[in-house]
Structure 1
């Protein structure tokens, strides 16, 4: 799948649910249509922490991380921060750092950003419940890499590495155009 025409700058990334499988989707940007995985419970307009669903929303891209020890010369207009072993993401709704990057050691519930399985080798932080946080509304909603076989995520949007590398040069931080990921 995918187009052969060049991508134009300023295109919004749209994510459409696949009609045949609730945890699959298509990421669309300009002429490209790429297969993706979404939450194991599909998508929802009423996201809650731990529900396994991907929120239906327009989510600006806030920032990104890259495993510099695994991937070299990733091209992107985003300022991609090199992932360190001490980087964690708090997913404990009762903690003051809920849905924020934290440093190890950290005892409350969290995601490791430097994962052994490579899912976060490229990881873009989407603005779901980040700039305007509410407890239990969901955390760590990222645009990251897939598990083998496009297995479902815990609520994120996931692409194959080759497809992420195709999109990254066109993704910018922001609230419109190529700085936003919309799940419909």
Structure 2
């Protein structure tokens, strides 16, 4: 019997982004990527820098309207003052919040291009378990092979190509076999 949620049981779909040792497979192509500096883990915790094992639905897409046109019709703009809460004890933990926000957070509108396009996964969302980890995004990498804080990162060109073609509800599949 399949649970339908874990990376082992879930049947893959054509719309899935599947993490492999060659990169992420999507739309019959492979895209080099970077994962978390803490590796791929099945026991993800806040601040461990790990990319979590599992099947993570793409729950949203954000983009910088001052730097580009929307990559897809369902993308939402990142405005000045947009933040992502990483304060595990707060009711808005692992949610998009607005400044001023007195708890721990990450700015979504950055000086660098890392978050010019952001695909948001449903990792520990929409109801977040404190300490389980926040903000597992797909975003632009700093440079090839440079690890993330747990997200999956791509070159700007590849992320743009993916963002133009991905549909709401597509999934990022991080197989258990990638942990280690």
Match of 1:127 among 110, 122, 131: 122
Offset of 1:73 from its aligned partner?
A: 4.9
1:1-184 mapped onto 2 (5 Å cutoff): 10-16=14-20, 18=21, 26-74=23-71, 76-77=72-73, 79-174=74-169, 179-184=170-175
Gaps of 5+ in 2: 1-12, 176-180
Offset of 1:31 from its aligned partner?
A: 2.1
Offset of 1:50 from its aligned partner?
A: 0.2
TM-score, normalised relative to structure 1? 0.84
How many Å separate the matches in 2 of 1:10 and 1:169? 16
Inter-CA distance 45–161: structure 2 relative to 1 (3 Å threshold): same
Once the two structures are superposed, residues 32-87 of structure 1 have per-residue CA deviations (whole angstroms, 9 ceiling, x without a partner) of: 1110011001110000000000001110011111011111352x25x111111110
State which drifts further: 142-151 or 102-111. Answer: 142-151
What is the count of residue pairs matched by the alignment? 163
How many Å separate the matches in 2 of 1:97 and 1:47? 19
Offset of 1:143 from its aligned partner?
A: 0.7
How many Å separate the matches in 1 of 2:70 and 2:27? 24
State which drifts further: 44-53 or 145-154. Answer: 145-154
How many Å separate the matches in 2 of 1:128 and 1:26? 20
Inter-CA distance 110–32: structure 2 relative to 1 (3 Å threshold): same
How many Å separate the matches in 2 of 1:149 and 1:38? 11
How many Å separate the matches in 1 of 2:94 and 2:70? 29
How many Å separate the matches in 1 of 2:84 and 2:70? 25
**Are the equivalent residues in 1 in contact too, given 2:84–2:107 (CA < 8 A)?**
yes
Tell me which residue corresponds to 1:22. none
